[in-house]
């Protein structure tokens, strides 16, 4: 049996080159325009949603706070990677240090898990509001909400710290060229000279967490819709269906995006640029769609947004 190389003696790269979309050659700089528009839009749209929810006391109920947290994610996630993408597209400055890469990886994957937790929180909130309306305040109170948030935050943190922590000791001796526009876990790990079995196991655990959340969300909404359709028709039933449908739209968008990204890296026939697009959309589609969904379909939020714009217009005159 041939001797295995001693990884401790190999020189590991201290920076990476993010060369995503270079297959497009001369057309690559044109990507600056759509991603710049997406960045400005997500900052403005999610910023407005965050401000309206934070400013109006009527919207400080658990359901709206969770929507506000979704908006916070939609505001910050694009900041984690789009500005660096824009610099690469416009000026071909594609270098990222290893430490920056790990920080970016942690922020993106932790945000993904955090989004899954928020969607689970929305499902739980609607479950108790519709299935146990008379005892809603007993179940959904400050103490229980804090315990729920802390437990899920610790779970997410342990999972993502383990996943990123296992990347730290890896040796990158063959190449430092990452065919991606940001430090996505799989793209980075595949460059390592070491055995990466543990890394894929950690990634599977992280994906399993979001999958478990998805199963719980699905079960919750099955029960919710059974209760809704078994109840007498009326305004409250219509409102419950409208609210739950709004949440389901967000959930479907989020989980279709993550599934497309996960499958994209496991089907070898998919072009490299298509894989980058799916993993990029996984982070951006919720940030793009959620302000529209909640701004248009949630009456209370829509009303406050309209009032705010009217007040600003009157003040300017």
Would you say residue 40 lies in a domain? yes
Q: Is residue 149 part of a domain?
A: yes
172 assigned to some structural domain: yes
For the record, the structure tokens of 73 come out as 């994610």
For residues 280 and 297, give the distance between their C-alpha atoms in angstroms, rounded to a whole number.
26
pLDDT for the residue numbered 6? 55
Tokens of 228: 């809704």
CATH number of the domain that residue 45 is part of: 1.20.1070.10
- Determine the structural domain holding residue 111 and report its residue range: 11-316
Model pLDDT, residue 234: 72
The confidence band for 243, taking pLDDT boundaries of 50, 70 and 90, is confident
Q: Is the pLDDT score of 317 beyond 60?
A: no
Domain assignment present for residue 260? The answer is yes
How confident is the model over 9-19, as pLDDT tens digits?
567 899 999 99
Is residue 4 assigned to a domain? no
Is 258 inside a domain boundary?
yes
What's the total number of domains in the chain?
1
Query: What is the model's pTM?
Result: 0.90
User: CB neighbours of 105 closer than 8 A, spacing ≥ 6?
Assistant: 164, 167, 183, 184, 185, 188
Compute the mean pLDDT over every residue in the chain, rounded to the nearest whole number: 89
pLDDT at 1: 41
The tally of CA atoms less than 13 A away on the side-chain side of residue 249 is 16
pLDDT for residue 98 is more than 90: yes
Distances in whole angstroms, Cα of residue 300 to Cα of each of 102, 165, 222, 304: 40, 43, 26, 6
Query: Cβ neighbours of residue 68 under 8 Å, at least 6 residues apart?
Result: 49, 50, 53, 54, 59
User: Is residue 1 domain-resident?
Assistant: no
The alpha-carbon radius of gyration of the chain (Å, integer) is: 22
pLDDT of residue 314: 61
Q: Looking at the predicted structure, is the pLDDT value of residue 5 above 60?
A: no
For the cut 60, the answer to whether the pLDDT of residue 300 exceeds it is yes
Q: Examine residue 2 and state whether it is found in any structural domain, yes or no.
A: no
Q: Is the pLDDT higher at 145 or at 6?
A: 145
pLDDT category of residue 307 using cuts at 50, 70 and 90: confident
Q: Is 90 exceeded by the pLDDT of residue 231? A: no
Task: Give me the mean pLDDT over the 153-180 stretch.
Answer: 94
Q: Which residue has the tokens 């500005």?
A: 83
In this prediction, residue 84 has a pLDDT band, given cuts at 50, 70 and 90, of very high
Tell me the average pLDDT across 37-59. Answer: 94
d(CA 136, CA 49): 26
- Position 311 scores a pLDDT of 72
Percent share of the chain, pLDDT over 70: 95
């Amino acid at each position: 049996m041939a001797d295995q190389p001693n990884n401790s003696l190999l020189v590991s790269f201290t920076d990476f080159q993010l060369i995503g979309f270079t297959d497009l050659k001369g057309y690559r700089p044109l990507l600056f325009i759509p991603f710049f528009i997406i960045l400005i839009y997500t900052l403005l749209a999610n910023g407005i949603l965050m401000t309206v929810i934070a400013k109006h006391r009527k919207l400080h109920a658990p359901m709206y706070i969770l929507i506000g947290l979704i908006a916070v994610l939609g505001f910050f996630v694009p900041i984690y990677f789009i500005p660096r993408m824009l610099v690469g597209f416009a000026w071909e400055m594609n270098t990222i240090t290893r430490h920056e890469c790990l920080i970016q990886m942690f922020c993106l994957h932790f945000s993904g898990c955090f989004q899954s937790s928020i969607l689970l929180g929305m499902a739980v909130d609607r479950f108790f509001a519709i299935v146990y309306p008379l005892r809603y305040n007993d179940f959904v109170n400050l103490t229980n909400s804090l315990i729920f948030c802390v437990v899920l935050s610790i779970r997410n943190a342990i999972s993502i710290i383990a996943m990123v922590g296992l990347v730290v000791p890896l040796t990158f001796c063959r190449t430092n060229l990452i065919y991606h526009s940001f430090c996505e876990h799989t793209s980075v790990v595949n460059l390592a000279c070491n055995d990466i079995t543990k890394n894929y196991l950690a990634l599977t655990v992280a994906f399993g967490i979001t999958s478990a959340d998805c199963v719980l969300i699905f079960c919750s909404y099955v029960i919710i819709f059974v209760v809704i359709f078994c109840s007498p028709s009326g305004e409250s039933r219509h409102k419950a269906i409208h609210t739950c449908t709004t949440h389901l739209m967000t959930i479907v968008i989020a989980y279709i995006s993550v599934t497309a990204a996960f499958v994209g890296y496991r089907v070898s026939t998919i072009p490299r640029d298509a894989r980058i697009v799916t993993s990029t959309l996984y982070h951006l589609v919720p940030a793009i769609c959620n302000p529209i969904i909640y701004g248009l379909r949630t009456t209370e939020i829509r009303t406050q947004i309209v009032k705010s714009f009217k007040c600003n217009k009157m003040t300017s005159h």
